[in-house]
Structure 1
């Protein structure tokens, strides 16, 4: 498999991690079913999908009837990778909040956020993951920010899906913009923030 799919689950306050085979899935509902199948008793399930160091997809599946929440670090990955295209289709079907068009604001900076307290909050969060994030890439002012396939180069989807697990919307977007940051670095950072890094790391290195 050219991809690595890791499902993080929480059951009775305990975290576990398992690999998932997505070769035969055809849509987001099938992905959600596979994620739920890892642990039907879990109260929280998060899929972290990486492919060839090109993108990180996060799919959160909380309950049996809850709609999956989806985030993709690079929209243009959908032009190359079928799994990414499947997830972008799910994002398009769900629609984006009117005030949260992530793909339309690739140059988001802490200084322009409406809430002045968010800057300090985000700075503290990023300090905690500085060892894996590296320096932030400066945005390039070009006229062709969108990829040739029509999808944006910026992150798309529900960037707030991990807000209650220690990684706020602006923090996740900032992590995805950092220079030389691999998808695995972002995955490790969000797991560290959520408190499930040990389970994640044991699976990856075990």
Structure 2
């Protein structure tokens, strides 16, 4: 997501013949902030909206592929729950939200990555935006609650009689499940549609 965003941002600068300095002057976003984006930091929601308005592009143009464009635009423009989630992140109380993830199933929600099992795709303490009530497909990144109560993120791969939950980091084990092992099955809470690097802790 991070390289995708900065690639789109740089593309817009180039296509419009605008320097980073001019962009900074006209938007009020500091050049130091732009430098941080180029190094991998994700703009906060306010700056993302400024970028979107400045280049007259939807927010989704900068943060995700076309597969998610319409739903993400709707989230940023109309979804009060999503705005509340962003405020929670900015107030650095995300842990209170992840502990109560069951209370908000049916809406968008956020999981704070608890470990390094998804490195390099997702770092420990990164925020993973998830959507409930959508079909889960092979290779989707999903939020999952294991039977011991742990909530984390994995790649979902469907197999003949069940599914695998695969970490990106090879130092963590793959978990394989059969549908007839009902008592052992973890619960898929939602499908990830965006990631945000934690810059608030």
TM-score range, shorter chain: under 0.3
| TM-score, with length taken from structure 1 | 0.27
| TM-score, with length taken from structure 2 | 0.28
Higher alpha-carbon Rg: 2
Structure whose residues are more often strand by fraction: 2
Task: Say which structure, 1 or 2, has more relative contact order (CA 8 Å, 6+ apart).
Answer: 1
